[in-house]
Amino acid sequence: MKQWMTTLLAACGLAWACGAQAQDAYPSRAITWIVPFAAGGPTDAMARNIANRVSQELGQSILIENVGGAGGTIGAAKAAKAAPDGYTFLVGHIGYMAAAPSLYARLPYDPVRDFRAVFRFPDTPLVLLVGQSSPYQTVSELIAYGRQNPGKLNFSNAGVGSTSHLVAAMFASQAGMEVTPIAYKGAGPALNDLMGNQVDAMFDQTNTALPQTRGGRVRALGLTSARPMAQFPGVPPLGEQAIPGFQVSTWYGLYAPKDTPEAVVQTLYRAWSKALQDTQFTGQMAGQGIQMLPEAEYAPAALQRHTADEVQRWAQVIRQAGISLQ
């Protein structure tokens, strides 16, 4: 064989191997994270913050696609049907990944069977908020009015099964009052109407409630955390002032369609583990009232177990709170 042919064949072989190698270098293009609430809410804010930091570790863009509606179940259903190729993920959350099976009669996905857990995010407690012109200065005043005027207090929320919906229902049930839920496509629009005094109250996660509380556009009456938070000075936990033991946080996690390869899951989890070593990044989240978790709880298997446990737990909570099936 002539020398030039040998060289050409060698070059082609090398090019093929490099090409194949390049195709195998995951991620080779932008990744999409579906956020099943409108932009501007706490889930969207948490997702964008984490996606920005994880994309730096991956060296690849992560695009947020907001798909709102039905308490997040529309976006979750879209993610469950996405190609398991490592380029579409779901930002999951306590509502549509744990409460939804007990709230929606025909849920078009199974949170445990149709997804692979990739990694858990930190948690966010919630804050009971009223508008700045609200007459209620304390949670006791709000409860007193609610008990004397059944159904008159309206609470905005992010749709059936969102934490803003579930926590308000649990709160009303345990406070012995009846409130009227007003559903939006996310806590962002729900909070906007609270600031516009279109609704009486809402429960919002700390990361988005904090700037509006500090800015004086809403008033915080109580926290769903076990202990007071430095970010909300003078605002006591509801469990200390109104309903003993009242404590709940929104949890979140990244999920992939169920047949996504393990190598993809591990690539994303490694990137997240590196981001968690960045104390400036984790400190910025903690400053928003976000609660960092023990490291082991962020792992894929831990989130998979947590999801299955929470589906069971919320079935009982929903029964006890008398929240109706949709």
Q: How far is the CB of 14 from ligand MLT (least distance, A)?
A: 49
Structure tokens at 23: 């195709």
Q: Using the minimum distance from each CB to ligand MLT, give the nearer residue, 58 or 303.
A: 303
The site map against ligand MLT for 127-166 (x = CB under 6 A) is -------------------------------x---xxx--
Q: How far is the CB of 50 from ligand MLT (least distance, A)?
A: 13
Q: Are 258 and 84 in contact (CB under 8 A)?
A: yes
Q: Which of 86, 101, 122, 186 binds ligand MLT (CB under 6 A)?
A: 186
Determine the Cα–Cα distance for residues 116 and 121; give it in Å rounded to an integer: 15
Q: Which of 92, 95, 237, 239 binds ligand MLT (CB under 6 A)?
A: 95
Q: Are 222 and 127 in contact (CB under 8 A)?
A: yes
Q: Which of these segments, 5-13, 41-49, 192-200, 303-311, binds ligand MLT (CB under 6 A)?
A: 41-49
Determine the Cα–Cα distance for residues 94 and 161; give it in Å rounded to an integer: 9
Residues in 233-292 at the binding interface with ligand MLT, rule: CB under 6 A: 250
CA geometry: angle at 92 spanning 184 and 231, to 5°? 75
Determine the Cα–Cα distance for residues 9 and 15; give it in Å rounded to an integer: 10
Residue whose C-beta lies closest to ligand MLT: 41
Instruction: Find all residues with CB under 8 Å of 13, minimum gap 6, and list them.
Output: none
- Asked whether position 171 contacts ligand MLT by CB under 6 A, the answer is no
Determine the Cα–Cα distance for residues 58 and 79; give it in Å rounded to an integer: 21
Rg for the chain (alpha carbons), in Å? 23
- Asked whether position 187 contacts ligand MLT by CB under 6 A, the answer is yes
Q: Which of 27, 33, 43, 264 binds ligand MLT (CB under 6 A)?
A: 43
Contact positions toward ligand MLT, by CB under 6 A? 37, 41-43, 93, 95, 158, 162-164, 186-188, 205, 250
